[in-house]
Structure 1
Amino acid sequence: MINVGGIISIVLFYVLILFVGIWAARKKEAGNDSEEEVMLAGRSIGLFVGIFTMTATWVGGGYINGTAEAIYTQGLVWCQAPFGYSLSLVFGGIFFANKMRQQGYITMLDPLQDAFGERMGGLLFLPALCGEVFWAAGILAALGATIAVIIDMEQNTSVILSACIAVFYTLFGGLYAVAYTDVIQLFCIFVGLWMCIPFAWANPKVQSLGSMEVDWIGSVSSQEIWSYLDYGLLLIFGGIPWQVYFQRVLSSKTAGRAQVLSYVAAVGCILMAIPPVLIGAIAKATAWNETDYTGPYPFTSKQTSMILPMVLQYLTPDFVSFFGLGAVSAAVMSSADSSILSASSMFARNVYKLIFRQRASEMEIIWVMRVGIGVVGVLSTVMALTVPSIYGLWSMCSDLVYVILFPQLLMVVHFKDYCNTYGSLCAYIIAFVVRISGGEEFLGLPALIRFPGYDEANNRQLFPFRTMAMLTSLVTLVGVSYATQVAFVTGRLAPGYDVFRCVVNIPDDVERVGPDPAEGEQMAVLASGAVRLYGSKDESNGRVNPALEPDYDMDPDCGITGAAGAGANDLIGAGGGGGAGSLQLGPRQPHSSTAF
């Protein structure tokens, strides 16, 4: 029987979120539908809202449900997500936030397309897109199951309703709506879960957490150490190359504030993990066969994945569990809206505009993004309702983000002069093959390669093959880039074979345009409807003949057209004849939009 009180509470909560989202949408400057205004809230997110929305990067439905489940099934030592994602924010702030924000990028893929060409950037968009869509689908499915547990509402109805509300306010408000609803949502998570803990802890069916019979700490066996480190590194460094994170970084007013927000949000992630950790420990100390729970016991994987809503349902009074349900709903929507906006922003800018429609107007891009929001929302909802192993799909995609995107983003942000499109493509393929060869138990993919220490009994890899795949990808990127640079610049390969046009066969219509030194952090708009190319003017020195700079004009198809006589060798400083000059791996020349 449907719990009417629960229905009323969830409807009131959704109305509140919808109201805040619509109100936030009105903060968008009237008549300003530029990419920066919609995708990045005009780079005007304040400190208070910025802290909340940056924390919400990872604190969502999967975060709180997964934390409680990890505590119940394996113990605190195996609950790596809070610490891993907190460290990912710290390292992101140290190594990426400042440089990315200084360059004035709009999405995470901008520096990748700047370095490797628009089409290679489009290929790198695939793992990022899949990760965002599967993440949104997974948390929507978790919300449906949660509502079904607590108020006995039909699961499909709750999933569709939640998705529609998240899509609606994101559609009209962009990042403004996402950021301001994050404030309400995180507040609801914190208050809702903390309200439930005293009631659940005081339940007579719950033993003392200090009892010797209750092991909620867990342990790591000697044979699992390398696998444990592999997952830890995956969370830390694989948690950086996500558009949901850089969406917040790039929306900050200054580069310094982007760093501060990352550090504060890292602390916020730890603090927000405390309630689900306690709920997981309480569940571990509960004699479930003495409660009103009537399902299978010991729990199957289906029940353990819902351990947090089960604690709310069976160990707290109804009115308290409704507050907890609001917390779970808030957590889910704070993640779903961000992922939907991130995926659609990357598609509109980095695929539609930079690959297919370089002359597209700002308004056209915004409408493509809005259509993308609807498509991603529908796709995530359909997957949440139909795909049985969404977590397995997301797990695989998060691995691909780690092994493919992290090494490439690291190189283009810090060592751009030592990589090119050939290295990027080879690294992409190698990383994908090595990761797939390790198998994926959640998807039933068999291990094509059984690395050392393979656990035959449980059919799982204990070797840190994900990190190995990431390092292999990094080495391949640098190695192939260096080899192709040597081959072309020394003349061992004719310039005509430089099919990606990134070493010696560089078009003479490329120039890197940077920000006005007086502004420092804002990229200059070159021409209406034209493609933006990024990079600082300081970095341009030595790559483009300063004497030629005043003679460059905007070409809508490729970027900037050089003056007559400005050949590829004028740009890269190589000797005459298209490649017989001295070997110089860096500084490397940026690509035109015709590169791979």
Structure 2
Amino acid sequence: MALNVPGLIAVVVFYALTLATGLWAAWKAKKKEQRNRQTEIAIVGGRNLNMFVGLFTTTATWVGGAYINGTAEIVYLPSRGLAWVHAPLGFAVTFILGGLFFVKPMRSKKYVTMMDPLQEKFGQTMGSILFIPPLLGDIFWFASILASLGATVRVILDVQGYMSIVISACTVILYTLLGGLYSVAYTDVIQLFFMMITLWICVPFALLNSASENIAYTAVRELYQGPWIGEIQPSYIAKWLDDLAYLSLGGIAWQIYFQRVLAASSSKQAIITSYASGFLTAVMGVPSILIGAVAASTDWNQTSYGLPTPNERGESNMILPLILQYLCPTYVSVAGLGAIAAAVMSSADSSLLSSSSMFAYNIYKKLLRKKASDREILCVMRLSMVLLGSAGMGLAFLSSSIYDLWFLSGELVYALLFPQLCCALFISGTNTYGSAAGFFVGFVLRLLGGEPSLKIPPVLRYPGCTLVDGIYVQLFPFKTFTMLVSLSTIVLVSYLSQVLFMKKMLPIQWDVCNVFRKETPQHQQHELAEQERLRQD
């Protein structure tokens, strides 16, 4: 296949447009920085994003390269099908639950990052430990979506994938570094809008291609593979519900979500934006579902791709760009590539801003340099963007397991961070001891559950654990079980520690986290210390 010169020119124009928008937003942010606190402008956009920009950038929280590519792949896979597509429903539920329960307490207290209530409740050190899972998740997410873009460019333009990885990473780092949330939000608008238009343009061409059968016919009948509608076997219902709960609840405890809603001009606007984003997220999954259905209904021998099929070649993860390349005209496939590039960049800049914001504001300012100025925090934030972006770009070249690593880190966020956030916002009386115990128990339980995609066998085999193609698969909803055990541990250990210290069953000197010392009058602390010394003598 020869180099697709028109396609290459179109992609360059799109990147130039995105960069120009990001730089314009950076200039706008710079003007506001002269009148307001620089840190809050960079992280939450001065809390004055309008409804339109807020809707698009909040939707872009989860509608990205992995979303549109992954949805098409699951519909296409003979062993999965539409029945196993969780993302549109799961992320829609994420936004609705977030709007119902989490947005108001976070926005009304004017938190800057998701880590603020955790550090406020459990202390600076414990809050810093809780930063590790989302940090790893953001880096692996950044790497995996860059890798998917590289593979897509290789299919459609016949250009080496590493070039698109490097160019995309540098573009995202540049405009995010200069403009912070303003650049991310305004580029999200054009990226998401472009994605919506171009994917819907591609769908009719794919549906009407002569190599593809009517998808209504193949939805329930076997033709080139099993029906693309899929089925959920009774023994897999618990696993299906577990995966849905993981996406619905686990999608809340991410800074990339709260970064958007905390930037709204009011709590009411933030709630409405979250609800509307849930609806738009579900709608954005429809083109990918249709493209996946077309792929399952295509006789690949009638295309220049030929046989064996993408599934037999192990290229199922590339099914969306393959459909664009082999079932659509050249100019349409180029437009589709632009949609994928837009989706990737809208996700990449979010993860980059998320992790750098939490590091600069919650780790550097609150733990390492409490007297740091706004300018110093902003410099640290920009430096961390470069370092984290470079790390993600390097990992993108090892793409074989990066997406699996992100999925595992995402499960750790669900099992460890989501219950911590719930306790910090809604359950009074929880403390640092409970937080540490819940983190440890959840971490150990999740690792003992194994990870088939990374060839990590389960040490703890839950009921229904079965051997599939030589790999143990947990059919028990162990991810949600781990999250609930972690939540219960936080609450139980918190109240147990309160009883032990406040009833003087443990000496106050053992309160190494200073949770209860501050609740005991100073003279009483001295008296208790003296009593303990005499008892030991």
Please give the per-residue CA displacement for 1:119-146, whole angstroms capped at 9, x wherever unaligned.
1000000001011111111100000000
Is residue 242 of structure 2 the alignment partner of residue 258 of structure 1? no
Number of the residue aligned with 2:490: 477
Contact 2:238 2:477 in 1 (8 A): yes
Work out the number of aligned pairs and report it.
514
Of 56, 60, 66, the residue aligned with 1:56 is 60
The 8 Å contact of residues 391 and 442 in structure 1, kept in 2 or not, is answered as no
Shift of 1:353: 1.1
- Contact 1:491 / 1:579 at 8 angstroms: preserved in 2? no
Separation in 1, partners of 2:196, 2:399: 30
1:525-544 counterparts in 2 under 5 A?
A: none
- Aligned-partner Cα distance in 1 for 2:134–2:230: 33
Deviation at 1:7, TM superposition (A): 0.7
Seen in structure 2, the aligned counterparts of structure 1 residues 8 and 357 have a Cα distance that, compared at 3 Å, is: same
The residue aligned with 2:532 is: none
Matches within 5 A, 1:29-68: 29-31=32-34, 32=36, 34-68=38-72
Any idea what the Cα deviations from partners look like across 1:358-394, whole Å, max 9, x if unmatched?
1111110000000011111101100001242011101
> Could you tell me whether the CA contact under 8 Å between 2:144 and 2:399 is conserved in 1?
no
Q: Do the aligned partners of 2:310 and 2:319 also contact (CA within 8 Å) in 1?
A: no
Aligned pairs for 1:364-443 (under 5 A) are 364-415=376-427, 417-443=428-454
- Pair 1:569-2:520 in alignment: yes
- Indicate the residue corresponding to 1:76 in structure 2: 82
CA separation in 2, counterparts of 1:403 and 1:305? 27
Query: Runs ≥4 in structure 1, deviation > 3 angstroms?
Result: 568-571, 575-580
Q: Could you say which residue in structure 2 is the equivalent of 1:132?
A: 138
Change (3 A) 1:30 1:425: closer
2:509 equivalent to 1:496: yes
Whole-angstrom CA distance in 2 between matches of 1:301 and 1:395 = 23
Root-mean-square deviation over aligned CA pairs: 1.5
Distance 2:252 2:436 in 1: 21
Give 2:186's aligned amino acid.
Y
Q: What is the CA distance between 1:27 and its match in structure 2?
A: 1.4
The whole-number CA distance in structure 2 between the counterparts of 1:335 and 1:250 is 18
Q: Answer yes or no: is the 8 Å Cα contact 2:33–2:41 preserved in 1.
A: no
Q: Does 2:452 match 1:446?
A: no
**d(CA) in 2 for partners of 1:301 and 1:394?**
24
Question: 2:147 aligned with 1:141, yes or no?
Answer: yes
Structure 2: distance between partners of 1:381 and 1:461: 32
> Judging changes above 3 Å, is the alpha-carbon distance between structure 1 residues 153 and 419 closer, same or farther for their aligned structure 2 residues?
same
| Cα distance change on mapping 1:442 and 1:300 into 2, 3 Å | farther
Task: Give the 3 Å change call, closer, same or farther, for CA 578–254 of structure 1 in structure 2.
Answer: farther
Deviations 1:270-318 (A, max 9, x none): 1111111111111111011221104643624741101000000000010
Choose the corresponding residue for 1:213, options 222, 225, 234: 222
CA distance in 2, matches of 1:484, 1:380: 41
**1:457 CA displacement:** 2.8
In structure 2, what is the Cα distance between the partners aligned to 1:237 and 1:386? 29
1:119 and 2:125 aligned: yes
Letter in structure 2 aligned against 1:496? Q
Structure 1 window deviating more from structure 2 (292-301 vs 426-435): it is 292-301
- Match for 2:115 among 94, 99, 109? 109
The superposition leaves residues 503-535 of structure 1 with CA deviations (integer Å, 9 ceiling, x where unpaired) of 2x12xxxxxxxxxxxxxxxxxxxxxxxxxxxxx
Contact 2:99 2:270 (C-alpha < 8 Å) held by counterparts: yes
d(CA) in 2 for partners of 1:422, 1:2: 60
Q: Would you say the 8 A contact 1:117–1:421 is kept in 2?
A: yes
Q: Per-residue CA shift, 1:521-555, capped at 9, x if unaligned? A: xxxxxxxxxxxxxxxxxxxxxxxxxxxxxxxxxxx
Q: Which residue of 2 aligns with 1:186?
A: 192
Write the distance in 2 (CA, Å) between the matches of 1:483 and 1:308.
Answer: 53
Structure 2 Cα separation of the partners of residues 142 and 381 of structure 1: 12
Q: 1:278 is matched with which residue?
A: 290
Distance 1:463 1:49 in 2: 41
Q: Which amino acid aligns with 1:497?
A: W
> For 1:229, which of 218, 241, 255 is the aligned residue?
241
1:20 matched to which residue of 2? Answer: 21
Contact 1:147/1:153, CA 8 A, preserved across alignment: yes
- 1:30 Cα deviation after fit: 4.7
* C-alpha displacement of 1:397: 0.4
SS in 2 for 1:456: strand
5+ residue gaps in structure 2? 529-537
Q: TM-score, normalised by structure 1?
A: 0.84
Larger helix fraction of residues: 2
1:559-588: CA deviations, max 9, x gaps?
xxxxxxxxx4359xxx945798xxxxxxxx
Q: Which residue of structure 1 aligns with residue 468 of structure 2?
A: 457
What 5-or-longer segments of structure 1 have no aligned partner?
507-567, 581-596
Residue 318 in 1 paired to residue 323 in 2?
no
2 CA distance for matches of 1:291 and 1:171? 44
Aligned position for 1:201? 207
Partners of 1:232 and 1:30 in 2: CA distance: 41
- Alpha-carbon separation, structure 2, partners of 1:240 and 1:468: 18
Alpha carbons 1:569, 1:578 under 8 Å: kept: no
Q: 1:333 aligns with which of 338, 345, 354?
A: 345
TM-score with structure 2 length normalisation?
0.94
Asked if the contact 2:415–2:483 (Cα under 8 Å) also holds between the matched residues in 1, the reply is yes
Distance in 2 between residues matched to 1:370 and 1:313, nearest whole Å = 38
Give distance in 1, aligned partners of 2:444 and 2:266. Answer: 39
What are the Cα deviations for residues 448-497 of structure 1, in whole angstroms up to 9, with x where unaligned? 11111111134211111111100100110001001100000000111100
Cα–Cα, structure 1 residues 302 and 172, in superposed 2: closer, same or farther, change >3 Å? Answer: farther
CA distance in 1, matches of 2:266, 2:33: 23
Do residues 4 (structure 1) and 5 (structure 2) align?
Answer: yes
Give the whole-Å Cα distance in 1 for the aligned partners of 2:405 and 2:68.
19
Taking structure 1 as reference, are residues 365 and 300 closer, same or farther at Cα in structure 2, changes over 3 Å only? farther
What amino acid does structure 2 have at the position aligned with 1:290?
Q
Indicate the SS of the match to 1:27: helix
Q: Distance in 2 between matches of 1:189 and 1:2?
A: 24
Letter paired with 1:484: S
Tell me the equivalent position of 1:166. 172
One-letter amino acid of the counterpart of residue 12, structure 1? V
